[in-house]
Structure 1
Amino acid sequence: MNSSVTSSVAEIATAVRERSPLVQYVTNYVSMDVAANVLNAVGASPAMVHDPHESGEFARIASAVGINIGTPSPSWVEGMTAAAEAAREVGTPWVLDPVAVGATAYRREIVAGLLQHAPTVIRGNASEIIAIATSRAAGRGVDSDADSSDALQAARRLAKEQSAVVVVTGAQDIVTDGSRVAVVHGGDPRMPMVTALGCSASALVAACCGVGADPFDGSVAAMAMLASAGERAGARAEGPGSLRMHLLDELAALTPDRLGSVRVDRS
């Protein structure tokens, strides 16, 4: 990581710790626990507010909003839509996590509706990003059947079409706003074995955007934070169970020096 990237990532991580952004994360029951704990570990304040009776109102006071379509139902979609609409109206950054969007027509319909509310960042695996960019089925449920590098062109096109930042997570994480591209290296190969770490990545992106960071820089910072913590946790873990435990510990212990070990290529 070059010095300018190191400085930017460290500044954003420090701002999250010091300012504790309030992150409203409309997500599924599978990911609520780990996502909330990831946010707590980095110093953010999680709020898993999803009911349509309050989600829009809450989005107006949040520092950032994340919306994850993981286990959709009509009432949850109503809550997602209300939060996205309110976030756009008041200028609050919000992150869309289009879980398994290529798997069913219902999910594609939900994501198409949410895209109308101009997400600040779209974070998904390669198959999810390809599915949105090409309007076709892709992936194997929540799992990707493509590498992140395979989705670069689709991500750049989607970013330009949506005027958003697109984050493709995988063995390497790609961040693009359609012009700039950053590739974040690091983490641990067992991280996909810990359920909902992808969902947690979206929550972390929201936290970084919630401190006023440029969405591109905020997304790079979030991926670098997770990569650094994942790599250090992997060195101590014996399997996915202990990896999750050590990952939370490492996120809580992140320092600028530790972040400096992550490799980020920018173009």
Structure 2
Amino acid sequence: MNLIHNFAHILEKIKSDKPLVHHITNYVTVNDCANAVLAIGGAPVMADDPREVEEMVSIASSLVLNTGTLNNRTIESFILAGKKANTLDIPVILDPVGVGATTLRTETVKRIIDEVKLTVLRGNMSEIMNINGTKAITRGVDSTDDTMAGGREVAQSLSKRLGCVVAITGATDIVSDGTKVYYIQHGHEMLARVTGTGCMTTSLIGLCCGTKEIPIYGAMLGIVVMGAAGERAYEENVDEGVGSYRVKLMDAIGNFSVQQINEGEKIYEG
């Protein structure tokens, strides 16, 4: 079964099942994350109060944890919702935004990893290196490291250690389940000029994994949707500004099809 077939199958399940993605995410990008999930055919819910997260995740298809805007309430909710999801075999996707930038972020991510079984860990190279115990500089939510400089080894070894899929996003995206390693080169540099495209990618991964298909393919498809949409939005937005690009990006996510995927050239196993 080739990648295109796997991706098409996941998209069909999204359209038919409309997976509910429970987000405990950051308020900078929450609206765009919700709209990205809606655009591709899923259903988002944003609930972060400790008094309801266990009940909410119980009716969800997947759980997305995003550390972009931390506070004591959301930290408690991460753990409560994550543990509940584990008991119900609901996929948990972690986006460790800014880990390594502050002690609070680093300790929070460590606690989540220690107490919650992850399905997918998605971050930029600096974030993943910090989690792996490799010294890296994190500037806010931005990465200062290149995925191609040791990214394969980091993704594969961390995946084996944590027992989850590890996805490192950057100019070249690297995804590993500890055995297989895939490279994805769909995308456009304009994506880096729109806040929240990483968070939206994680939400799309959550949606794809909510179909309960093989996690590595769900992780890859979420990344591919954002990358291919970024390319399509740029084609529709040449010589226009970031604002119109952002609008066209959401349109492109909603109009995504597997015909846009360039397997073999832009997606390959390494």
> How far 1:18 sits from its partner (Å)?
2.2
Aligned residue for 1:88, secondary structure, equals helix
Retained in 2: the 8 A contact 1:9–1:259? no
1:263 aligned to 2:262? no
Task: Tell me which residue corresponds to 2:213.
Answer: 213
State the shift of 1:152 in Å: 2.4
| Contact 2:157–2:178 under 8 Å retained in 1 | yes
2:82 corresponds, among 81, 84, 90, to 84
Return 5+ residue gaps in structure 1 as ranges: none
Alignment pair present for 1:203 and 2:209: no
Matched residue, 1:239: 241
Tell me the equivalent position of 1:94. 92
Cα separation, 1, equivalents of 2:256 and 2:136: 38
Q: Paired residue for 2:154?
A: 154
5 Å-filtered alignment, 1:28-107, equals 28-107=26-105
Query: Match of 2:171?
Result: 171
> Partners of 2:266 and 2:10 in 1: how far apart?
17
The answer for unaligned runs of 5 or more in structure 2 is none
Amino acid at match of 2:266: R
Q: Is the 8 A contact 1:191 1:240 kept in 2?
A: no
Shift of 1:17: 2.2
Q: Sequence identity of aligned pairs in percent? A: 35
In structure 2, the residue matched to 1:140 is 139
How many angstroms does 1:138 deviate by? 2.9
SS in 2 for 1:46: strand
Aligned counterpart, 1:110: 108
TM-score where L is the length of structure 2: 0.94
Secondary structure, counterpart of 2:138 in structure 1: coil
Distance 1:75 1:56 in 2: 14
What amino acid is the match of 1:64? S
Distance 1:105 1:142 in 2: 14
Maintained 8 Å contact 1:103/1:137: no
Q: Does the 8 Å contact 1:155/1:176 carry over to 2? A: yes
Distance in 1 (alpha carbons) for counterparts of 2:27 and 2:11: 27
Taking the aligned partners of 1:224 and 1:172, their CA distance within structure 2 comes to 11
Contact 2:124 2:170 in 1 (8 A): yes
Work out the CA distance in 2 between the residues paired with 1:42 and 1:139.
Answer: 31
State the Cα deviation string for residues 158-187 of structure 1 (Å, max 9, x = none).
111100000111111111011101111111
Residue 260 of structure 1 deviates from its aligned partner by 4.8
Q: 1:227 aligned to 2:230?
A: no
C-alpha deviations, 1:175-212, integer Å up to 9, x for none?
10111011111111110111111011111101000001
TM-score (norm 1): 0.95
TM superposition shift of 1:136: 4.6
| 8 A Cα contact 2:190 2:230, kept in partner | no
Asked whether the 8 Å contact 2:61–2:211 carries over to 1, the reply is: yes
The structural deviation recorded for 1:11 is 1.6
The answer as to whether partners of 2:136 and 2:145 remain within 8 angstroms in 1 is: no
Contact in 2 for aligned 1:24/1:66 (Cα 8 Å): yes
Question: What RMSD in Å do the two structures reach over aligned CA positions?
Answer: 1.5
1:239: Cα distance to partner?
2.6
Q: Which moved more, 1:225-234 or 1:123-132?
A: 225-234
What count of residue pairs does the alignment treat as equivalent?
265
SS of residue paired to 1:25 = strand
User: Which residue number in structure 1 is paired with residue 6 of structure 2?
Assistant: 8
In the TM superposition, what is the alpha-carbon distance from 1:137 to its structure 2 partner? 5.4
| Deviations 1:129-163 (CA, angstroms, capped at 9, x unpaired) | 00000165532121000012233222211111100
Shift, 1:258, TM fit: 2.5
Matched, 1:120 2:119: yes
3-state secondary structure, aligned to 1:174: strand
CA–CA distance in 1 between the matches of 2:35 and 2:200?
Answer: 9
- The 10-residue stretch of structure 1 (11-20 or 50-59) with the greater mean CA deviation from structure 2: 11-20
Runs of 4+ in 1 over 4 A off after TM superposition: none
